[in-house]
Amino acid sequence: MRQAYKVASYYPCLNETGNKMFIKDSSEIRYRAFTTPEGSVLMVPEFIYRIDNAHSPGWQLRFGEWTDYADQAGRNGSAIALKRAIEEMMDRIEYRGK
């Protein structure tokens, strides 16, 4: 007989890449390195994805509702947009609880 494992209530589902959609707090977030075309290395949380298309390059937050953050003008435009996405993600985790 298989043993049933109890899953914590804050892990009710996974997204399409197998990542947790609901987490207890921000200390559980995994980060990955992303190298920009300029050569800068950015640390990107698991719930934020790079969207590179001709019309609106930027970052997409996929935690709760999906939200796009377009790159800003200038040399560090992708880093600025990523910072905005991370701030919103932390807000959703810490204050909205989702």
Examine residue 1 and state whether it is found in any structural domain, yes or no.
Answer: no
Calculate the CA 79 to chain-centre distance. 14
More confident site: 19 or 51: 51
Helices H / strands E in the chain, number of each: 1, 5
DSSP assignment of 46-78: TTEEEE--SS--EEEEESSSEEEEEPPSSTTHH
Please tell me the distance from the alpha carbon of residue 73 to that of residue 87, in angstroms, as a whole number: 19
Mean pLDDT of 71-79: 90
The count of domains in the chain is 1
Mean pLDDT of 58-65: 92
Tell me the two tokens of residue 12: 């009710």
Domain limits for position 79:
26-96
Position 18 pLDDT exceeds 90: no
Examine residue 4 and state whether it is found in any structural domain, yes or no.
Answer: no
Examine residue 64 and state whether it is found in any structural domain, yes or no.
Answer: yes
The pLDDT value given to residue 7: 34
